[in-house]
Amino acid sequence: MAEVAAAQSTEALKVTSIKSLAESPALNSVPSAYGFTINPNDEADPNDPEFAIPIVDMSLLTSGSPEQRSKIIHDLVKICQEWGFFIAINHGVPESLMKAMIETCHGFFSLPDEEKNEFKSGNDVLEMFKYGTSYNLALDKFLLWRDFFKVRVHPEFYSLYKPACFSEVSMEFSKRAREVALEITRAISESLGLEPNYIHNAMNMDRGIQMLAANYYPPCPRPEHAIGIPHHTDHGLVTLLIQNEMKGLQVEHNGKWLTVDGPPNGFFVNLADQMQILTNGKYKSVMHRATVNNKATRISIAIPHGPSVDTVVAPAPELLEKEGQAPKYLAMNYKEYIQLQQSGKNYMKSTFDHIRV
Ligand SMILES: O=C(O)CCC(=O)C(=O)O
Ligand SMILES: [Fe+2]
């Protein structure tokens, strides 16, 4: 019933973009198709030390003393086991480049709907680029308060052709963000007692998939009755994320939702499903979601990094041997895993359930 109601009101709304809906003068409530209720009792107290978000100083990994590097690698074990999330600071990507990337994405979302629609494409996640609203209008049971676009920037670099500066800014930003992500995968390999290039080689990251995925969340009149992106885990290895001055990302920690806040210009870093599989569940793919607010537009840019499409991912034999464990997950080709996750059946559910031994 709820589904039918949602479908009808979606039809009545003729959603082209959440941006134009949010800007329509008549909007004073949230259309029922967007119905989602946030439970304030599930939210974490950010002042409770239990919810102090781990910070990783990347400069100590790249140019610290050997002792400083090993201390960070040691800290990473606990961070990846207990949180699957941290904020990377002093990562070397210039603040001006991060700001320019956000501005350029803002420029794209500010184009008229007809121009943005030129970038609509099929539903294959490995499409060169894709623009849309919600998640997948054909499958959604309720709608999401966001517009988005995704561009594949590695192994081959693709770009939007509007706005004019997009290609130049996104190429430089993607390259610099990739360096940070690869440094993180080296440190994570070492934290597992493996050689630094272990993950890079085992996951064929030379041809690894990297996306640039921007989200646009306009102000919402009743933010507790809508959601930007509901709870999910990312399918790759590790995702970096930046945002404009508005908060909204929440990560699940100890059964509560914690709104991420931290030093400006840090990268928010979350571990994703292939990392959990590779480490046989030792490291955690963190559940997260994006909430909306009633004050100002939030823009976030996620940069997910994964294996190459044809990599078969399974728990690392070296780790199983070291820890004396049996594999907890079945081996699966990365592309098939993505297709399974995006098929709609698994939306907001854990794709792990399908591959747990
Ligand atoms: O906007 C955010 O903070 C979250 C975005 C996200 O989780 C995603 O794009 O997968
Ligand atoms: Fe995500």
- Residue 215 Cβ inside 6 Å of ligand 1? The answer reads yes
CA distances from 61 to 74, 116, 261 (A): 12, 40, 23
pLDDT tens figures, 31-87: 888 888 889 899 999 999 999 999 999 999 999 999 999 999 999 999 999 999 999
User: Which of 33, 27, 20 is CA-nearest to residue 116?
Assistant: 20
- Residue 229 Cβ inside 6 Å of ligand 1? The answer reads yes
Ligand with the closest atom to the CA of 211? 1
- List alpha helices for 88-165, DSSP H: 95-109, 113-116
- Residue 302 Cβ inside 6 Å of ligand 1? The answer reads yes
pLDDT tens figures, 257-295: 999 999 989 999 999 999 999 999 999 999 999 999 999
Distance 68 CA to ligand 2 centre (A): 31
How many helices (H) and strands (E) in the chain?
12, 14
CB 352 within 8 A of CB 242: no
Ligand with the closest atom to the CA of 228? 1
Average per-residue pLDDT for the chain = 91
Nearest atom, ligand 1, residue 300 CA: 1
- Residue 290 Cβ inside 6 Å of ligand 1? The answer reads yes
- Residue 212 Cβ inside 6 Å of ligand 1? The answer reads no
Distance 63 CA to ligand 2 centre (A): 30
Distance 234 CA to ligand 2 centre (A): 5
Distance 274 CA to ligand 2 centre (A): 14
Ligand with the closest atom to the CA of 248? 1
pLDDT at 346: 57
Q: Return all residues near 83 (Cβ < 8 A) that are at least 6 apart.
A: 53, 54, 251, 253, 284, 286
pLDDT tens figures, 126-153: 789 899 888 776 667 788 999 999 999 9
Report ipTM for this prediction: 0.99
Nearest CA to ligand 1 atom 8: 302
Mutate to test the pocket of ligand 1, among 105, 229, 267, 342 (most ligand atoms within 8 A of CB): 229
